[in-house]
Structure formats: structure tokens, C-alpha cells
Amino acid sequence: MNDEKLVHKTEMEFQGDRYEVLVYCRTDGRHFARTYFGDDDVIINDGSSLEEVLARHERLLPLAVSSRRILQEYTGVPRRSRSSRL
């Protein structure tokens, strides 16, 4: 049984790239947002409402993107993209 339901889908832009944000609601009423950077690279955060999760994701996405770019520059290994990164 799936205890989460997709309730919102949006895109956020950062440094010229667009990232898909999927927001789900659990059966207990809590929400969580998910953005995929690669098949095995995802950020997830949660909150008590859709608005809280989106606000938190909006603050954290730039940090997540920047840290991945720094790591890519340091290692020289390009990140594997996923179709949800637009």
C-alpha cells in the first residue's frame, strides 16, 4: 500500500537550470518535497504543510546545487543527469 500521494509539481530555477520539485502528502498529513539530480542523487525535505515544504525547498535547493557543482569541479567527474532535471 502506497502511503504517499503526489499533491504538487513545480519547477525551480537556479543559475540558469530548472529543477523539478515533486511534493507528496503522507496519510498522516505531513508533506515532503523531492528533487532528483541523478538516479541515485536526490534531496528530500519535509514539513507540516505544502507551503512550508516549498519554502524550505526553495531555500535548500541553491545549497544542494552549489555543493554538487563544487564537488564536480573538484573531482572533475560530471554528474549523471536525470530526466527530471530540466
Q: Is residue 86 part of a domain?
A: no
In tens, the pLDDT along 46-79 reads: 999 999 999 999 999 999 999 988 988 888 776 5
Q: For residue 64, what pLDDT is reported?
A: 93
| Rounded mean pLDDT, 39-44 | 92
Q: State which residues form the domain around 17.
A: 4-75
How many domains would you assign to the chain?
1
DSSP state of 40: T
CA 78 vs CA 14, 72, 73: distances in Å: 18, 6, 8
Which bin fits 16, alpha (ψ -120 to 50), beta or left (φ > 0)?
Answer: left
pLDDT at 86: 47
Q: What is the pTM of this model?
A: 0.80
- Residue 58 within a domain: yes
